[in-house]
Amino acid sequence: MIHTLILTGVLLHIGDGAWIDKLNIGVKSGFPGIIPCQYVEQYQENLKYWCQGMFWSSCTILAFGNGPRSKFSITDYPAQSIFTVEWQNLQPSDSGYYWCAVEIGDSEKPDASYYLYLKVQSAPDVSVKSSSVSGHEGGNVSVQCFYSSGYKAKEKQWCKYKDQKCLYPKKNTGTSQNSSVQISDDGKSSFTVLMAGLRLSDSGWYFCSVGDLQVPVRLTVTKPEPKAPDLSVMNSSVSGHVGGNVSVQCFYSSGYKNKTKQWCRVKDKSCFPENKTDTFQNSSVQISDDVESSFTVLMTGLRLSDSGWYFCSVGDLQVPVQLTVTKPKPKDLYTTQPSAKQIPTILTSVSRPGANILNKEHFCLSET
């Protein structure tokens, strides 16, 4: 008795689309391939395996989860309730029925399983350029699904494996996990799926489906990496002493290499361009550009009146910098330590009865 896990005979609808009741996977001979097998969450810790044969009762086990790599290998993803089956080189003779299976470990209950068919061809009737695509959250991703001339008039669909839902190109625009999905068919050899406004939850396995054939595609959606600003400074606050110097390095992106660089004072609404030396609030200002990624502003002979807000300006972008000029601290006062020859010695005379001597202190320097 076959215990159907999820897929066989199940039809779920979205708009005009319906889930595929039988999976027939198109495979290109001589090339690596991968397919997903889905199971229910309660079997996350159970052993997974891959079996070949038309009938479940007599199929031959070809691979176990976390077992040694052979013609087929299995990788389990418990958090997603999916395991994948990979191969490196299948031939048309490998076409046939296979089973995604989970060991239940109960003698009175059969293992959970469902079957699919692998159709291995040198020139598959349905294919994709890459079985794995990726995009950033909020971005877009497109997948081009190719079909042979014999499949021009067949029904095209884009199906999400986990949700068991499909979209038709004739519906043209639908929604999938809060992403806009557009499917367009050129009527000749391919249809294109465009997913816009990607969400992290869109990650997972999908199928390009044409007629009775499907090709799996794995989509990975990640958070976008923070983009470095086109203009920046290491520190937005710098300081110096009266009469001293201060420098500010302004960094720009490659797209701003040829833009005008300036150092501007907010209060006076005045700017000085690069490669020029000028006086500014009685201070000398020099701007030099390395023509690669930054320009440097050098202010010498600082005055208290130079304090205030400035801008590093490149093209149409500005970054504020606050300059604080203070009076230099007084030099520390110190006394010279006397040498041993100059150490004062205190001599005290003691008066005696009848002696005509003043009782007083005398200081002298002892020669040692």
3-121: CATH topology is: Immunoglobulin-like (2.60.40)
Nearest to 151 by CA among 120, 122, 126: 126
Looking at domain 231-326, its CATH architecture is Sandwich (2.60)
How confident is the model at residue 21, as a pLDDT? 64
Sheet holding 308-314, edge to edge: 237-241, 317-326, 308-314, 261-265, 270-273
Sheet holding 294-300, edge to edge: 231-233, 246-252, 294-300, 283-289, 276-280
Helix (H, G, I), strand (E, B) or coil at 321: strand
How confident is the model at residue 139, as a pLDDT? 93
**Angle at CA 336, nearest 5°, toward 330 and 340?**
170
How confident is the model at residue 357, as a pLDDT? 34
Q: In CATH terms, are 126-222 and 231-326 the same topology?
A: yes
Across the chain, which has 368 residues, the per-10-residue mean pLDDT values are 33 38 90 94 94 94 86 94 94 96 87 94 94 94 96 93 80 55 92 94 94 95 90 94 94 94 91 67 80 93 94 95 91 49 42 39 38
126-222: CATH topology is: Immunoglobulin-like (2.60.40)
Which residue ranges make up each domain of the chain?
A: 3-121, 126-222, 231-326
Q: What is the DSSP annotation of 86-121?
A: EES---GGG-EEEEEEE---BTTBPPEEEEEEEEEE
pTM for the full model? Answer: 0.62
- For the chain, the first-to-last Cα distance in angstroms comes to 115
